[in-house]
Structure formats: structure tokens, C-alpha cells
Structure 1
Amino acid sequence: MSGDIDESAQAIERKYGIAVEYETGDAAIPELWRNPPANGTAEPMTKANLCRYLPVLAHELDKYPADVIRQNLATVYLLNSLGFFGVQYGGTSLDHSIYLTGGNTVEGYDDSYFATLFHHEMSSIFFRNYDFPTEEWNSVNPGRHVYAKSDRQILQAITDGEDDGGDESLYSEGFLSKYGYSTLENDFNLYAEMAFTHPRQLRQLAEKYPRIRKKSELLRKFYTGISRDFHLDY
């Protein structure tokens, strides 16, 4: 099993020039995040789950131009758990690194979950590294909507939006779930993950809801502005 894991990770590393780290726990977290008040913690992913998720990671990476990955991503950390401020995180990103967690299928961690998480965090790196159309995106939202600003408001908005799907009222306002209410970046993350993992669903929503259509168009413009080799199938 260990040999297969190493070979799968090395194949990804050779193709994209990135590091795939899967044997580190707390050491994966920068010291600043390990200290109070964040008190970051992490556990390495189990071998059984590494065997499941490494092929998923390779498949999802193939949806990106290789040169874009090389320019923007340095390290992928594969973890069993990740926590900050006493809250468990599915994943996060810092600079040119992303941190992804994955558990057992019986716990709800299926391949779709992991794929979605990867695109979510990858989109955050792009959000930081490129000129995102913030004003245009904000102009699509209802006039009364204001994203959360303080760390406390953001954390509360994220908590309120966990495991929450969309509904007619959210869709009509241009949001895919309550989680998207929290920050503009999180709103964009949801669109990015759906574009790469459930493009048909995003296309159907865009056909029905004008605000979702406008944000989908902005997302496509943003990604093709990064590279013309992006092919978003929605």
C-alpha cells in the first residue's frame, strides 16, 4: 500500500512540479497558526484514504492547465483533520499551499466531497493572485446585501451556512447557499467548485436565475483571463 501511495504522489509531483505531503500532522501548519489564538491542529490522512483520494486529486488537477498549477500551487497537504480556533475545517489555503482533509465514506467523505474541496481551495489561491472583478461581482448582489466584515461575523456566517444547500430565495439573489453570504471570496469559492464538479447543475441554475447567470459569466471571464486553456463546461 505504501508503495502505491508514494508512486501516485510522485506522479503528481513530476507532472505539476508541486509537493504532495501526506505524512505530516501539526508540522504542516505554519507556526503562526499553531500558536494562540488560532491553536491550529492537524492529523495526517490514513493510508486507506490516501489510496482513495490521490487518484481523485490527480483527476481534478487535470482540469487545470499544467502551467497554471506550476505558477500558483507549491504544496498540497493531505490530512485526516484540521482545526483552528477550536473549529474543524474541511480545508484551507495559505500562500501557494492548500490543506485538504478527507475521512471515511461512512462519515460522509466521498470522492465528490474531496473534489469539491480541492477546487474550493484552489479558487482561493486564484482569488488572491489575480485581479478579481470585485465591483462587478458585488453589483450582481441585491442592494441590501453586505458580506460579513469582522472575523467573528465571518466565522458565524460560515457556521450558519454549513451543510446548507440552496433554495429558490437564495438562488434568486445569486447565492448558491447561505455559506456564500459570508464573504465575497466564499461566494466565489462555491461557484468555482460547482463549475468544476457539477457544471450541468450550474448551467441549469444560470438558465433560470439571472443573478447566477451573471456571476457564472464573471467566473468564466476570470478563469479564462488567467489562461485561455481553461475549459469550463457549463
Structure 2
Amino acid sequence: MVVGDPALHRATRAFLNRRSLLLKLAAVATAAGGTYLLLRPGQVDPKQVAARAAVIDQAYGVRIGYGDPASFYVPPYGPRDAIIPDGHATAAAPADVALALDAIAQSLAVYPPGFYASLCKAIFLCGTLRFGNEAAGGTYGPAWIILAADPSVGAGGIRETARLGVHHEFSSLVLKRAPLIEMRWRMLMPADWEPDPTNDQALRHDGGANVQEGFLSSYGATSLENDFNTYAETAFANPERLIALAQDDPVIRTKAALLLEAYAAHDPRIMQTYRKLGLNRIASA
């Protein structure tokens, strides 16, 4: 519950639900450790990192920012909007930013031109991101998302967090603009279901598979928003899995259709993406 100035409540409510994105990737981090060591900060030219970020900005109309997390905002918002309630972020090293950039570009390419930028004006990269004692892979603000390039998960973990986080965090900006979809989604939750009360408690879930009662993972079951995020991440990064599950589970099929409806209501050009990924079979159903 948020108390105090109602204007501050509106400014910060976008930060109230946090998600963990593959931050327990010990196996991936170990396997990718050798690659990561080749990209130590001293071996990365910050000018080249900035140039690569600028290329992505120009191609997709989405600013790629990093550095001091206090600067993570875009106009008309200001420094106060960069504050992450109950969270703390550190600056990312240039080498870790470099690891995330290609994965970000790969995921942005899924969407029709201008679709992503119409809701998300910037993607900011921090180093570590924590809520309480729990590490997180991303969060979002009123018109931007923040992804963690956390060196503790290794090169593979940084890339995968970025690749999935582009879809995962962006979906919250879509859901905020689809109150009727949210209401219909809530009706599909189990009768005895209760969301986790705090961000750090939700982040303790390991994200293991759990397709019972319409959830794609145990982490997705921690809140309605996290459930929606997990569906979006799966739809755009692993559509084959969502299509297969939707064939056999009516709740998953209905949730998936609602997700696709929310995106299409914002911009029907997303149907082009659905056809490319095979998701049009769910949308039509």
C-alpha cells in the first residue's frame, strides 16, 4: 500500500511489481565464464559501446542509456521518477553493457517499426538491481524499462536477461494501458490464489516450470502482472512453447489470446509479428 501524496502514488505505482529474469543462472554463468573474461572493462572501448548504443537508438527509436541510475528517466519526467521505491541499482560496467546490446537489438527487431518506441522511450542498463536482499533482472518506469547487466550471472546470463527482459518489462507498459484485459485476466486466476505481498518475496521464486492452473512458471504465479509478463516473454522469445501449451490447456490458451489482444489493441500492426512467430493461430482461436 502506498500512502502520502496521491501525485507521488501515480508517479511510483509503475514500480510496485518487480520481476526476476534468470538471475539464478549458475550453470550458464559457469559455462560462459571464459567468454566473459575476454571482455574485462579494461579491454572494452567505451566509445565503441556508446556508438553501438547509438546505432540501436537510431534503428528503433529507443534510447539506450547506462551510467548513473539517478539519470534513468526521460522527459517530461524528472530525477524523482528515476527513484526505484524499495529498490537499489548500481552503475553497469561498459563490458557488461556491451554484452547486453546485441541481445536488446535482437529482441527489438521482433516488433513492427515504431511499435516499441510508442510506449517505451528508453532502455536503461544498470549493473546490479536489488529489492531487499533479492537480486532482480529488471523493472520499469512510466515510459522506460531498466535491465540488469549483473556480472555475477556471467556473459550468458547478461545476454539472456537482456534478450528476455526487452519483452518481459515492456509488457507491463502494455498492461497498464489495457484495464479491461487486466480485469478479464483476473477472472482466470485460481479461486484461492493470492499474490505475493512484497517484491523481494516474489523474487525468491526460482522461476521453475509450473503450468498448473494456467501459470507458465512459479514466478509468474506471484502476481497478475508477473503472470502477464511471463506470458509476454514466452510469446515473443519462445513462441513454440506457448503454442504447444495453449493447444492442451484452455486457461493458457485464453490467457495467451488476451495477451495478444492487448498488444493488437495498441497497434494492429503487431499481427504481422504474430504471423511470423505462428502466434496468429492463438489469436484467431
Which position in structure 1 is the counterpart of 2:250? 210
Query: What's the CA shift for 1:68?
Result: 2.1
CA distance in 2, matches of 1:75, 1:116: 16
Note if 1:173 corresponds to 2:213: yes
Aligned to 1:22: 66
Where 1:66 maps in the other structure, the secondary structure is coil
Structure of higher RCO (CA pairs closer than 8 Å, 6+ residues apart): 2
1:48-91 Cα deviation digits (max 9, x unpaired) = 22222111111111112232223211221111112344543211
Moved over 4 A (4+): 32-35
User: Paired residues, what number?
Assistant: 224
8 A Cα contact 2:207 2:220, kept in partner = no
Contact kept in structure 2, 1:154 and 1:183, CA below 8 Å: no
Distance in 2, Cα, partners of 1:106 & 1:46: 13
Deviation at 1:145, TM superposition (A): 2.3
Who is 1:102 aligned against?
149
**Distance in 1, Cα, partners of 2:204 & 2:88:** 23
Cα-to-partner distance string for 1:2-31 (whole Å, 9 max, x where unaligned): 232122111122233332112224443844
Report deviation, 1:33: 6.7
Question: Quick one: distance in 1 between partners of 2:119 and 2:187?
Answer: 28
Whether contact under 8 Å (2:135, 2:203) holds in the other structure is: no
Alignment of 1:155-194 (within 5 A): 155=199, 157-161=201-205, 163-167=206-210, 171-194=211-234
**Does 1:75 find its partner at 2:119?**
no
Q: Do the aligned residues in 1 keep the contact of 2:207 with 2:219 (CA within 8 Å)?
A: yes
Q: Give 5+ residue unaligned stretches, structure 2.
A: 1-44, 74-78, 280-285
Equivalent residue number for residue 39 of structure 2: none
Please state if 1:7 is matched with 2:51: yes
What's the CA shift for 1:142? 2.6
Distance 1:32 1:10, change over 3 A: closer
- What is the alpha-carbon distance in structure 1 between the residues aligned to residue 90 and residue 216 of structure 2? 31
Mapped partners of 2:81, 2:219: distance in 1? 26
Separation in 1, partners of 2:256, 2:223: 17
Question: Equivalent residue of 1:70, what SS?
Answer: coil
1:53 aligned partner: 100
Q: Percent identity?
A: 28
Quick one: which amino acid aligns to residue 47 of structure 2?
Answer: G
CA 1:156–1:52 in 2, change beyond 3 Å: closer, same or farther? closer
Cα distance in structure 2, aligned partners of 1:108 and 1:49: 11
Q: 1:77 to 1:181 in 2, by over 3 A?
A: same
Q: Secondary structure at the match of 1:69?
A: coil
RMSD of equivalent CA atoms:
2.5
Show the counterpart of 2:169.
121
Aligned 8 A contact 2:134 2:200 in 1: no
- Kept in 2, the 8 Å contact 1:164–1:179? The answer is yes
- Letter paired with 1:191: Y
Q: TM-score, normalised by structure 2?
A: 0.70
Contact (CA 8 Å) 1:65, 1:229: kept in 2 or not?
yes
SS at match of 1:109: helix
Q: Distance in 1 between matches of 2:178 and 2:202?
A: 24
Tell me, yes or no, if the aligned pair for 1:79 and 1:99 is still in contact at 8 Å: yes
Q: Quick check: 1:207–1:213 contact (8 Å CA) kept in 2?
A: yes
Unaligned runs of 5+ in 1: none
